[in-house]
Amino acid sequence: MTAEILIDISTPPSLSFQFGAAWACFCLLGVGLLFPFNCYIAASTYFNDLYPNVPYTFLMSMAYNFFSWILLFVSSKIMPKFSFRVRINAFLLMGAAILFLIPFISKMIPDRTASMVVSLILTFLSGSISSLLFGTVMGLTALFPFEYTGAVMSGCGVAGIIASVLRIITYVSMPASALTASSYLYFFLAGGLLIICFLGFIVLLNLPITRHYLAVQSKNNENSINNSSSGGSTPQVDMKQLLRKVWREAFVVFTVFFTTLSLFPGITGLVENINSGLSSDWFGILFTLTFMVGDLIGRTAPKWFIIFTPNNLWMPTVARLVFFVLFALCVKPLVFKSIAFYFVFMFLFSLSNGYLGTLAMMFGPTKASEHEKEVTGIIMSFFLNFGIWVATWFSLLLLFLITGNKDIFG
């Protein structure tokens, strides 16, 4: 992949500037991973206005995550055959193109049903691209010290903040009657941010520390090939043996994101504004922003302190299932009747999501051998996305159990 690079691989570059620049670039890549999904969530009022009487948030979430886990399973064998440069550049540019196109669909296709179908198809393509990008970026960071995996996960948290703040800015900068115009501006800026992520990746590739670790990977792969009796062109990874090494971390990351996406944004979106001076629109925006802030803090915290180990990380992960009960009691039966409870629950919910998920993604690659690290990053991404996919369908069952509404799709 990078065998042509001639560089001393005996010791990694250690300049603080290089470390900080690489960390920032990985953080920017993390923004690009989840930014499209957060864009769609933050723009829910726009889609609800376009397609009334349809649970578009649920449909969007299902379309976005429909095949992501399958693609990651397949990509664990196929994607490493292509360079990181080709994969990441292509995925970022395609993702940006879809964000630029999304707001024009309703104008190009006047029929509302047809417009919604095309929008969901584009959302599906966006999710598929983001899934492959996620596996590729996590495979790349697995070659680096685990702090860089934390940088990517922090970036994922930053993506939610940027999406929410960007939506607030475009929402308040125009009158309420100009919802469509503000949404055009919103998606244009969103696509532009992915272009910035693309430029950040170019910078990352040219840093000495990146060239060092890619050269190390190339050298390890070369040694593995020379020592292999199979005669294959790439070192072989025993998937069963690898899963035995990382099954705890895989279980944690699956459970964390299964819990989160089962409740957010679908079930938490049923929580109503009670006894406050906030309008329904502002309550929804601030409630979502609370999740984004807590998630960012949780994803960034492992850079400064780690209070769990790979052996006991499952304990807080399982304990986190209590949020199913807490959020249900915020909807039906309505036990908690103050928005203070809602915001506290949401903050703790998102904080634990970011922190536990990041630790699992950081711990996983440390269990693997050098030639297994890229595949380990993809496997961890697979279980993360598989948890999201299962949660997407499970959330529909929760919607029925909590609301008793048999006609879920309107």
Cα separation, 241 vs 77, whole angstroms: 15
Compute the mean pLDDT over every residue in the chain, rounded to the nearest whole number: 83
Task: List the one residue out of 135, 136, 107, 101 whose CA is nearest residue 121.
Answer: 101
Dmax over CA atoms of the chain, in Å, equals 71
Average pLDDT of the residues in 360-384 = 86
Are 159 and 28 in contact by the 8 Å Cβ rule? The answer is no
Cα separation, 358 vs 228, whole angstroms: 34
Task: Specify burial of residue 97 (Cβ count, 10 A radius: 0-12, 13-18, 19+).
Answer: middle
User: pLDDT tens digit string along 79-101?
Assistant: 777 888 999 999 999 999 999 99
Are 378 and 138 in contact by the 8 Å Cβ rule? The answer is yes
Token digits of residue 234: 């790439």
Per-residue CA distances from 74 to 68, 69, 248, 311, 375 (Å): 10, 9, 22, 29, 11
Cα separation, 133 vs 219, whole angstroms: 24
Q: What is the pLDDT of residue 24?
A: 92
Res. 298: pLDDT tops 80: yes
Greater confidence (265 vs 364) lies with: 364
CA angle, 306 as apex, 385 and 297 as ends, to 5°? 65
| Whole-structure pTM value | 0.77
Q: Any residues with CB less than 8 A from the CB of 301 and at least 6 apart, and which?
A: 354, 355, 358
Cα separation, 317 vs 314, whole angstroms: 5
Confidence of residue 7 (pLDDT cuts 50, 70, 90): very low
User: pLDDT tens digit string along 164-184?
Assistant: 788 888 877 766 556 677 778
Token digits of residue 365: 């690659």
Are 28 and 157 in contact by the 8 Å Cβ rule? The answer is no
CB neighbourhood size of 317 (10 A): 23
User: pLDDT tens digit string along 210-219?
Assistant: 988 888 877 7
Cα separation, 235 vs 53, whole angstroms: 53
Per-residue CA distances from 293 to 22, 128, 160, 179, 273 (Å): 23, 26, 8, 25, 20
Q: Among 53-57, 342-346, 375-379, 383-387, whose mean pLDDT is lowest? A: 53-57
Token digits of residue 398: 């929760």
Q: Is the peptide bond before 333 cis (omega within 30 degrees of 0)?
A: yes
Res. 11: pLDDT tops 60: no
Q: Is 278 helix (H, G, I), strand (E, B) or coil?
A: coil
Q: What is the pLDDT of residue 8?
A: 45
Res. 3: pLDDT tops 80: no
Are 319 and 252 in contact by the 8 Å Cβ rule? The answer is no
Q: What is the pLDDT of residue 259?
A: 96
Q: What is the pLDDT of residue 163?
A: 85
Cα separation, 350 vs 157, whole angstroms: 10
Cα separation, 237 vs 234, whole angstroms: 9
Task: Specify burial of residue 234 (Cβ count, 10 A radius: 0-12, 13-18, 19+).
Answer: middle
Are 183 and 105 in contact by the 8 Å Cβ rule? The answer is no
Confidence of residue 12 (pLDDT cuts 50, 70, 90): low
Per-residue CA distances from 200 to 21, 96, 99, 184, 262 (Å): 10, 14, 19, 25, 33
> What dotted CATH number matches 17-403?
1.20.1250.20
Are 23 and 148 in contact by the 8 Å Cβ rule? The answer is yes
Cα separation, 193 vs 4, whole angstroms: 32
Cα separation, 33 vs 16, whole angstroms: 26
Q: Is 277 helix (H, G, I), strand (E, B) or coil?
A: coil
Cα separation, 110 vs 90, whole angstroms: 31
Token digits of residue 364: 């996983």
Q: What is the pLDDT of residue 9?
A: 46
Q: What is the pLDDT of residue 147?
A: 85
